[in-house]
Structure 1
Amino acid sequence: MAHQSNFDEIYSFLKEKFEGESEYLQAVHEVLEDIVPISNAHDDYKAFDIVRRICLPERVIYFTVSWMNSKGEIEVNQGWRVQHNSAMGPYKGGLRFHPTVNLSVLKFLAFEQCFKNALTGLPMGGGKGGSDFNPKGRTDRDIMLFCQSFMRELQRHIGANTDVPAGDINVGAREIGYLYGEYRRLNNRFEGVLTGKGLEFGGSYVRTEATGFGLIYFLEAVCKHQDTYIDGKTIAVSGAGNVALHAALKATEKGGKVVTLSNSRGLLHNEKGLNHTAIKWAIENHASRNNILKDMAENDMGDWIDNKKPWHIACDVALPCATQNELTEDDARALLDNGCSMVLEGANMPCTNKAQALFIEEKITYVPGKASNAGGVALSGLEMGQNAMFNQREADVLDEQLYSIMTSIHERCVSEGKTEGDFINYMKGANIAAFRRLADAMVAQGV
């Protein structure tokens, strides 16, 4: 087939250039399989070499962050900002502070972000950034000093109409506040250059809840499409951070039975389902506790199991909300053997390629993060709009808008993901729907 050689040629070109970047190549491979045939059927896309251009970042910024900690010692970290594609709007995507951060991880996240942002229908390009700085065990003062030094380098590359970073792993409201304060002092401008800000200085209601709530709104749309309900379904959730906890909260509000939460050290299991009060307590306390799940177990909210993931627990719905490649082929088999019929990603690329392939082969509902966890960036886009107009919308209005955006993303995925019979390939649908929007914007603007 003609498109197969085209796929091989483009993927080989990328593999040769970026041989060591496994996460980036994994993300590109997954998308290429779906978009190359669409490109081949469209003369403009081929003429403008859209597929190759969409895979390559427009700009990668690398900088060293040399800073003095509160003890007067010099520390040196690495910082990056990958500005992947701006055809549809300012670069938009989070900042991640974690010792595992490297260029491959950030390129994969920036690439995925372009597709995710395109699906929201809001005018946003895609980017991602961060540092190998580890904030765990650090004092507030050290975190502030690092954030200020990081922003001193980053600030020359961002702006409300250029690149609007947000938070991600280990970059929450506190870090965004320190980053924003330094940007404002250096540039003498109050503008919507970061999202996830405090409500007192240009932040938005519902931003904290948006990714987790949006995931459940997408699940609700899936259930509606299949003439069923969340009510009564057993739901396994991985993760114990913002996304996992808010997804668990909204799922219980909708009548779902959330039986697990997890972290890198183990698993909290409650066979009867975590109640609303327990999840609210976790949301209020997780930032200040070393292991919130173990604390919950000690307070009779469930059983703690060391070094286990949730995927061996029987469930109807699995929501991986922790980190990339957390759900392997073996985990996928365990879920299928236990009767799981829906997998929706709350994290970015939490399922390995082999796990994804197995779900699609077995024709269960599998929804990639670029569709199901787009609620966070959708609310960030709404925050940008509020900043541009110097206003602040009410929480219930924003929640309705979030619900509407997630429902429309579902419709786009269904429209492009229909296969023979009634099966919806949500991964294919999300990739193609986003690709068409990106490609049309790029063609319209020329080379």
Structure 2
Amino acid sequence: MEPTELTPSSIWIVTSAALVLLMTPGLAFFYGGLVKAKSVVSMMMMSFGSIALIGVLWILYGYMMYTGAGGDGGYFDGAAGLIPGFVGNPFAGFGLTAEGIDLIDVAFGATFAIITVALISGAIADRAKFGAWLIFAGIWATLSYFPVAGWVWGGGWIQSWELNGYAVIDLAGGTAVHINAGAAALALALVLGKRVGFQKGIQKPHNVPFVLLGASILWFGWFGFNTGLSGDQEGLGLSFLNTIAAPAAAVLGWLIVEKLKDGKPTSVGAASGAVAGLVAITPSAGNLTPGWALLLGVIAGAVACLAVELKWKLGFDDSLDVVGIHLVAGLIGTIYLGFVATDVGLFFTGDFSQLILQTVSAVAVMVYSFVVAFVVGFVIEKTIGFRVHNEDEIAGIDTVVHGEEGYALAD
């Protein structure tokens, strides 16, 4: 076979894949700084475990489930989707053995799968067994992420659904990544129950610089997330600029609400606001003018700041606010497109089609992911056990689960 010449497009996609992979260690720092000092190793290992396990599963069969979701088998001759429109055949070209596979596409998709699973772990911080987490991660990715990614980008029912000539917009994963992970996080938080002593102010972040470092790495990696598949220079510029605009505005939105609500704007709030804005712009970076992106950021930051309080009022222990940031901001960013997406939003056309498409796809992914995560998490908890013993949780689970300490101070 003659070697294919490298193109600027392929080079940028590979670079973007490296940026997206860096997001998961960034998430490890972000989550690791938010937990107590005796749980930081456990928290960060859940992200690194996702890199290892999901990277392997994506190569073995996840990519086949994704690319064959349209029902035509994708790259795999004679391998129609296992359920056309919903999921491809995991055994077609197992381990990437089929010919004609775009390995750059495989690599780029792997990084998305990894970060999506890792996001869920923040909801069960301080109280989950590492082995049980890996079992959950592998099953949930197989039953939820791989199929849903196929729905959205692999020719499945969401990508192929049209209504009056309109189609669902999801550039980089408002549905497949953030709503998917956020709904699963809510389910797991309910399955594992509340931490010992659950109440407002149960703990403060043990390392605020880690939180800020992690948010910064996430923001840096997000440029690969949102621009990796930009088709032309104009689209690349718009997506890149909006990935600056929305999180910047979201930081302001979060801090203003935090100041009014609690009296002080915090650095953790700034970091959380940036992530909320990044989540919100993920599906829409290429379909909003910068002004609308700024407005989206302010809305996402302000609403997410209020949404993280829901766990205290409703009584579910989402340790690191995955629901308030990823599920809520993901819903906002996805549905917002139905109103103001360039040329197709309700405000520009007077047609509700785009809004219906965005809303139905978002709700469908949310419900599906929640059910899958709840059932899988419940079965694990009732069989091998998902949660550590209360005394281990109180003491800090790093030494119990991993035999290590995050900070070994000299005598």
Which one has a larger percent helix, Structure 1 or Structure 2?
2
Bigger relative contact order (CA 8 A; separation at least 6): 2
